[in-house]
Amino acid sequence: MTTALPRADSAISASHMLGRKLDSVPFSAYHVVIILVLGFVGFIEGYDLALTGSLLVLAKGPLQMSADAVRALATWPTFLVVIGGFAAAAMSDRVSRVMVMQVGVILSTLCTLLILLVHSFEQLFVLRLITGFFLGFTISAPFPIAAELMPAQHRRTYAAIYETLLAMAFTLLPFVGFVLADHPRGFQLVGLPGGVTLFIAPVLIYFLIPESPRWLLRRGRVQDAVDNVNLIIRRSGGRVTPMTVADLGAGRERVQEQLPPFWKLFAPGQFRWTAAGILCGICAGTVYYLIAILLPKALVSQGAAVALSFGLSSLVFAASIPGKLFNGFIMEIIGRRWTITGAFLLSIPGLLLMVIAHRTGSAATIVFSAGALITGFTTLSIFPAVRMYLSEQFPTALRGRGHFFGESFGRIFAGVIVPYVMVSHTASPTIFFGTMIVMVLIGACIPFALGRETLGNLETFTEALPELA
């Protein structure tokens, strides 16, 4: 049986009470399980997303890809990620967020597994388009889910570990490409590590990830929300008193609360925060997509061997593993805004080294490696703060739609428009890496020009916005 809250002040009070109860649950082994399952989802979806970069190199010869085919493969699958993200955004606050993620995981990993059977560019292109659409369902889902399940002081723990697992996927992928560089079926085999997870991830999600109690409460399902809070309490060792409906102050009136319309993302009192989160994501995402999708091709175009290009690409993502752990730790100490700004600014020396590396003769590989390590530890490590910062811009009733929309909208620029334009300029280190420098300079200004600090309890800075009620 479900009950519902009245729409007035009792709903706001109830959301605060439920949020404080969730934040009071001591961090436990069960929270680690949630982090690892969502992190595993991030790992496989990150592998599937970044697979394009390796396919551009490995499939070009065997499938006789033209320049137009290379451009299409570099950009259109990401555009479908955007379309899938918008579709998921329309659903995520209305239907189960876990179900949206589950559908995306199953269908995207299935398509990645089917690359084993590809024998033409057309087949590969269609599979990558379908993969992209359902990646849009999944790739943004873990952050709004985790933001509402984790205690406030451990959202950083989730963000750091999730993004570290994502970095491991980005590191593994170029390494797999390096191993398969001379294999005649390399382009078919490179997707196998992501595809085989079709038989693992959906099972873990079904049994181990609960629906968000905050989302259930906002949907008027009060008893279900309380039951899920108590499920988390039990699985966390039962160290706090179970919750009851009476604890929420819910009256006897049973009127389901209506979701605010989608346009409230751009309403006065919310638009500034929506814009701040999206713009930070665009600047960080531009650097990520240029490196993940085009860096192997850029290095080959600039004179590196295929195997070396994969090795250097793997190096830059390997550096982001400790970098993401550090950024996840520091963002709870100095705040989201200083973490984002600092990481952007500190990446500039690394990007400059990659610009000048080709001019240093025999030392080029060493200079580029140094630049890659700096860039990986800074800008590519910024996502624990950037993605959590985006989720924290929205109240519960808008968080799913806001996060999905924010990442999808940002991906239009960062993952589609910029790679489409830059694919013709990968041979120029100045243009290729210089574009990244411009984006990090812009990104460093946004948190303080537009943003607010969002460190702390979610309801404190999101639920008390009268414009969204």
- Radius of gyration (C-alpha) of the chain in whole angstroms: 22
Asked whether residue 247 carries a pLDDT value surpassing 70, the answer given is: yes
Q: What is the pLDDT of residues 363-373, one digit of tens each?
A: 888 999 999 99
Confidence (pLDDT) at 460: 65
**What confidence tier does 354 reach under pLDDT thresholds 50, 70, 90?**
very high
Q: What is the pLDDT of residues 306-321, one digit of tens each?
A: 777 888 888 999 999 9
The pLDDT tens digits for 182-222 are: 898 999 999 999 999 999 999 999 999 999 998 888 888 88
What would the two tokens of residue 438 be? Answer: 């411009």
108-146 tens-digit pLDDT = 999 999 999 999 999 999 999 999 999 999 988 898 898
pLDDT confidence bin for 167, thresholds 50/70/90: confident
Which residue type, as a one-letter code, is found at position 63?
A: L
The band of 5, judged by pLDDT with boundaries at 50, 70 and 90, is very low
| Position with higher pLDDT, 205 vs 304 | 205
CB 275, CB 450: distance < 8 Å: yes
pLDDT of 252 reads 32
4 pLDDT above the threshold of 80: no
Q: What average pLDDT does range 164-188 have in this prediction?
A: 88
Q: What percent of the chain has pLDDT over 70?
A: 93
Domains, the chain, in order of start with CATH, read: 12-241+259-450 (1.20.1250.20)
Mean pLDDT of 298-304: 84
Mean pLDDT confidence for 13-26: 87
Residue 3: which pLDDT band, with cuts at 50, 70 and 90? very low
Contact of 411 with 326, CB cutoff 8 Å? no
Cα 227 from Cα 86, distance rounded (Å): 31
Q: What is the pLDDT of residue 10?
A: 45
pLDDT of residue 421: 92
User: Is the predicted pLDDT of residue 468 greater than 50, yes or no?
Assistant: no
- What is the reported pLDDT for 349? 97
- Residue 19: the pLDDT is 87
pLDDT for res 251: 41
- Residue-wise pLDDT for 70-94, tens only, equals 989 988 998 999 999 889 888 877 8
